Amino acid sequence: MGVPYDIEYIDLANKPDWFLEISPLGKVPVVQVNDGASIFESAVINEFVSEINPPVMHPADPVEKARNRAWIEYGSGMLGTNFRLRNSKTAEEFAENRSKLIDQLKKVEEQIDEGPFFNGEEFSLIDSSYTPLFMQLDLMNKIHNFDIYAETPKVGRWAEMMLSLDAVKSSVVEDFPELFTASISKRDGYLGQFLN
């Protein structure tokens, strides 16, 4: 808590020059620290912010910390699966990607106990790392209910709890739902047909 920052949102279809100068891969998110250094990759940024504002929000036990980091990496890959799900053109392609994502969610389901967080009672960086996926799935599911947590109730409860937190709700621009939904509508894919 309490790390001072300024934030700039980037139109990825129209990246400003100053952004391209500080973002080594031209991607968001990127953090520029006071001495001018640029830090990219969201998991690395999260660890960095946590490290300059201890305690670090990973489990203290090295084995547990490594397990958390590994599942954070796995969750990052799931964003790719969800990107393909969101952009599926046909019902068949959508069903195929849905089932791939469900298989991945099942692996995560095996890792969690009673919650409410991934590690139980304590909030950790892994909770925030899965939240963009949960937020996207929630908005996609509002367009067309595809029951993504039917086989993973614990992940479903984890997602619902994370999305109910004020810190999560205020972590995106106010009109994020509209912008995200509009980007799906524009794409002329399977999900978009439920909007048009």
Ligand X SMILES: N[C@@H](CCC(=O)N[C@@H](CS)C(=O)NCC(=O)O)C(=O)O
Q: Which residue ranges make up the site for ligand X (CB under 6 A)?
A: 12, 26-29, 41-42, 76
**CB 189 to ligand X: min, Å:** 17
* Residue number, 12 or 37, with CB nearest to ligand X: 12
| Residue owning tokens 């700039």 | 8
| Residue owning tokens 């993973």 | 152
**CB 13 to ligand X: min, Å:** 9
DSSP state of 120: B
**CB 34 to ligand X: min, Å:** 21
* Residue number, 42 or 104, with CB nearest to ligand X: 42
Pick from 171, 153, 147, 45: nearest CA to 99: 147
CA distance 137 to 124: 21
* Residue number, 116 or 177, with CB nearest to ligand X: 177
Residue nearest to ligand X (CB): 27
Q: Provide the CB-side half-sphere exposure for 45 (13 A, CA).
A: 17
Pick from 108, 119, 124: nearest CA to 58: 124
* Residue number, 42 or 68, with CB nearest to ligand X: 42
